Chains A and B, each alone.
Chain A
Amino acid sequence: MGSVAHLDVLPSPRGGGGIGARMKLSLVDVLLAEPEPRHCAMETLRWLERHAGVERAVCAVVDPDGGRLAGLTGLGVPSAAVEAFSLELNDRTHPLVVALAGNEPIAFHDSGQTLPRPFETPLGKAAFHAVPLGSSQQEMGPGLLLLSGVGDGPVNDDVLWAAALLGTRLAALGYRRVQADERRHKRERSLLLAVIHAVTDPILLTDADGRILIANAGAETLLTAGEEKREGWRHAVALNNMLFSASLFTAESGPTRRELLLVDPSEGKELLFEVLSSPVAIRTGENGIVSVLRNVTDLRRATEEIEENYRRQRLAEAATRAERDRLDLILNSVLEPILVTDPSGNIVRMNPPAERMFTLPGRGESRDGHPAQKDRALRDGEIERRVQANDAVFTSFVSNLYAGQSLRWRGELNLIDPKTGASIPVEAISGRLVSKHGEETAVVTILHDLTEAMEKARLYEQVKRHSEELREKVREATAELAGQNELLRRQALELEQASALKSQFLANVSHELRTPLNAIMGYTHLMLEGVSGAVNPAQQDKLTRVDANARHLLAVINDLLDITRIESGKMPVQAERILLSDLIDEVMTEVEPVIAGTRLAVTRDLPPDLPEIETDRQKVKQIVINLLSNALKFTPAGSVGIRLEHHWPAGEISIAVTDTGIGIAEENQKTIFEAFEQANSSYARRQGGTGLGLTICRRLASLLDGRIALASRLGEGSTFTLFLPAKSRTA
């Protein structure tokens, strides 16, 4: 055993198991119901695979004659390899024999290199654990589990538990336990014999030829008869021997359980026995069979019934369990509280949402990390009170159902959130569960949280009200708008009428002013012409002044009339295709007398390829004459120039009139286009301006879809530029 030191022995302490009792119970159930050792072993290995992470495994058992350890079944291992796996128990230094004899799990990290002697297992060279199938320290188990995949450390308690359970079950199924040492073997052999003899059920060991090697009293009664027995007895014993021997034939390959009809030699009655036979190794190379007979003559029926009942019950239990599990799953997956009450009104089942409403949270759990004991006590008290209130409300509701006859009951309850104290309106729907026999079994209640629904209804009402208000407002606004429109229409009409009246008025004023003006100018002219006799130079001078003032007054009247006509839309645009160079010629001709009266240099700058434009000739002419007259008027010395340009791509044409005159201060440049605005009024009056020229120009330009721009510096001169489109929109 010194070689053990070289082995990687990992004894206790072992890791604790984590497998639940239910899972363990399931393995127990399976093994108890399974009479076939190989299947038991396989079930255990699968269970370990599922719950303990075992990847590959072999279950090896000591063969019936106790001489060998042989593969019984495997998991993830070829069955041929399992069958081929075998080793002599006499080989006491074999590491697996050591493991089996020591009844302690051993971890083999690398079976090929670090072991004192190499050996092979069906698991190959992977690390594995050898776990004996024993439950006690005294006895060797009936075999070993070789497990790979349970980790490097010691195997945990769950694995040991499973191994022990399998060991116990295999032992129960007839696998002998191998005694650890011979002394104990001998002592226990005699003990065993004593036990065997003490058992009232017939027990016997037969050799390969069916000869009885050991038999207890019960067996001897049935199968042996001295010469002193009467003949009938001896016949009966002979018959029993024949029957028994014949039945043994089937037991040679492995443990069997069968029924055997024998004769009671003393009374000649038929007896039914249950015979459990297991092959055992008597000595190397020779097998015998141990048989235990159990008189089941009287018990047979009862046993059968019990078995049948037991089977049914187990099935029913399994079904119930599955049903309950399924129900739990369903209940727990529902987000709404569900409660099941028994006929006396006690709550017997709740899902987690219901638990939050009707149970106190666990005392042990720390909530919100709140350490203050007093606060928690206060809060717990509060929570308890709320839970009790909920319970009272619920109980009262359910009692309605029990009082009435209907199978379903619906109502609205007011519960309290135990944690926050918030009111939770719920709709409760209860249904009675009635068994086939009309017996009331339970009431199931589902609580539907109405908070959201009520909030929605409230919001809907609010939205509806707002929408109504909005509609009313829109209605009012529409009415108001209609009123305003009517007012505007009337005002527009009035304005139109007023405008027409104004135009008419101005036309009349113009007429009434022109008539006396005609007289003034006419008489002045008559005198100047000498119609009424010669006038002296002084008189002529004064008459000339009268004439000039009359002319100025006439110009003002004409301008006013123009503005009025433009404003009232009575200045129609008469567009035609014109060549601006021709038009400039006409303007120059007309202004020539004025130019002649100055000492200014007047220049013209016209590009040679000016295109025709479509516009109102008369109005353009009026504008240009006006701009040119202004330039001449307000330029005491220097020059005046007209410059035409064609602007691509829009085809716009500009006519710029530039002078070196008095210029216009920046602050006056904006207002200069307004009526009666002249930058320097006294000077302008001296120049005979009406104060309306630029106003008319700008309005005429806009009539033609054009515009007038001004660039000027006081004392340096001004440039007025008329921009005209290639084609007037109004044309």
Chain B
Amino acid sequence: MIAEKNDAPLVLVVDDVDHGREIFAEYLEFRGFRVATAADGLEAIEKTHALRPDVVLMDLSLPGIDGWEATRRLKEDPATKDIPIIALTAHALASAHDKARAVGCNAVVTKPCLPRDLEQEVRRQLAARTGAPVEGTAKP
């Protein structure tokens, strides 16, 4: 673990759109999370390996390696397969969602999404991983 200033949960926000990254990153930091960002699939894979985030927020439509492919690789890799990945997509069709779950996404959230609702989902994933209650910002 590359633990830094504190041991707040690290969330990797992956989105090729600037404001997409900014809104969720800013809000999650505001809510006490540590946040890292990636703008495409390749960067997401590298940063996941490098930073070992607690949760990855994965946009699906990405240039180059897209979100589905990046997720598939991360879930195939024993080193990263246990990191929860929440697909975050503007695709509203069930097919896109099913495909995301098929490659290993732990949850799918449709954009537009209120930052507050996204935070709820992040906490749910963290709790599912640790078996601990979701409330609070502290990470075990």
Contact = CB atoms under 8 A, between A and B. Distances in A.
A517 B110 CA distance: 12
A496 interface: no
Contacts of B19: 519, 522-523
Contact of A523 (B23, B90, B92, B111): B23
Interface string B59-83: 0010000000000000000000000
A515 interface: yes
A328 B26 CA distance: 131
Highest count of chain B CB atoms <10 Å: which of A507, A531, A561: A531
Interface string B6-46: 00000000000101100110110010000000000000000
Contact of B20 (A519, A529, A557, A561): A519
Interface stretch (B48-56, B113-121, B131-139): B113-121
B91 A522 contact: no
A510 B112 CA distance: 11
Given A525-B115, A550-B112, A510 B23 contact: no
B111 A515 contact: yes
B2 interface: no
Nearest to B23: A522
Contacts of B92: 507, 510-511, 514, 557-558, 561
A500 to B, nearest CB: 13
B17 A525 contact: no
A417 B111 CA distance: 102
Given A523-B19, A529-B30, A531-B27, A511 B91 contact: yes
Contact of B91 (A507, A529, A532, A558): A507
A518 interface: yes
A565 interface: yes
B3 interface: no
Given A514-B92, A515-B20, A518-B111, A525 B116 contact: yes
B43 to A, nearest CB: 19
A519 B23 contact: yes
A523 B20 CA distance: 10
Given A526-B26, A529-B30, A507 B93 contact: yes
Contacts of A507: 91-93
Given A522-B24, A523-B19, A531 B113 contact: no
Secondary structure dominating the interface of A: helix
A521 interface: yes
Interface in A527-568: 529, 531-532, 550, 554, 557-558, 561, 565
Interface core residue of A510, A511, A561, A570 (most chain B CB under 10 Å): A511
A495 B61 CA distance: 29
A515 B24 CA distance: 13
Contacts of B90: 510-512, 514-515, 518
B17 A515 contact: yes
Instruction: Report the contact-size class of chain B (Cβ under 8 Å from the partner).
Output: 20 to 34
Given A507-B93, A523-B19, A529 B27 contact: yes
Contacts of B115: 522, 525-526, 529, 531
Nearest to B95: A570
B68 to A, nearest CB: 14
Interface string A492-512: 000000000000000100111
B30 A561 contact: no
A510 B93 CA distance: 10
Contacts of A511: 61, 90-92
A311 to B, nearest CB: 124
A531 B30 contact: yes
Interface residues of A, number: 25
Contacts of A510: 90-92
Contacts of A531: 26-27, 30, 115
Contacts of A523: 19, 23
Interface in B88-135: 90-93, 110-116
B135 to A, nearest CB: 18
Contacts of B116: 525, 529
A570 B113 CA distance: 24
Nearest to A554: B112
A236 to B, nearest CB: 159
B113 A518 contact: yes
A525 B30 CA distance: 12
A523 B114 CA distance: 9
Contacts of A519: 17, 19-20, 23
B114 A525 contact: yes
B117 to A, nearest CB: 9
Contacts of A561: 92-93
Interface in A564-608: 565, 570
Contacts of A525: 23, 27, 114-116
B115 to A, nearest CB: 5
A521 B20 CA distance: 11
A514 B26 contact: no
A213 B90 CA distance: 167
B112 A518 contact: yes
A56 to B, nearest CB: 118
Contacts of B91: 507, 510-511
Nearest to B91: A511
Nearest to A547: B114
B70 to A, nearest CB: 18
B27 A526 contact: yes
Nearest to B24: A522
Nearest to B19: A519
Q: Most chain-B CB neighbours within 10 Å: which of A512, A525, A529, A557? A: A525
B137 to A, nearest CB: 15
A514 B24 CA distance: 15
A514 B112 contact: yes
A708 B90 CA distance: 32
A524 to B, nearest CB: 9
* In the A-B complex, the 10 residue pairs with the closest CB atoms: A522-B23, A514-B90, A518-B112, A518-B111, A519-B19, A531-B30, A517-B112, A521-B112, A511-B90, A515-B90
Interface of A: 507, 510-512, 514-515, 517-523, 525-526, 529, 531-532, 550, 554, 557-558, 561, 565, 570
8 contacts: A510-B91, A511-B91, A514-B90, A517-B112, A521-B114, A526-B115, A531-B115, A554-B112
Given A518-B113, A529-B30, 7 more contacts: A512-B90, A518-B90, A519-B17, A525-B115, A529-B115, A532-B26, A557-B92
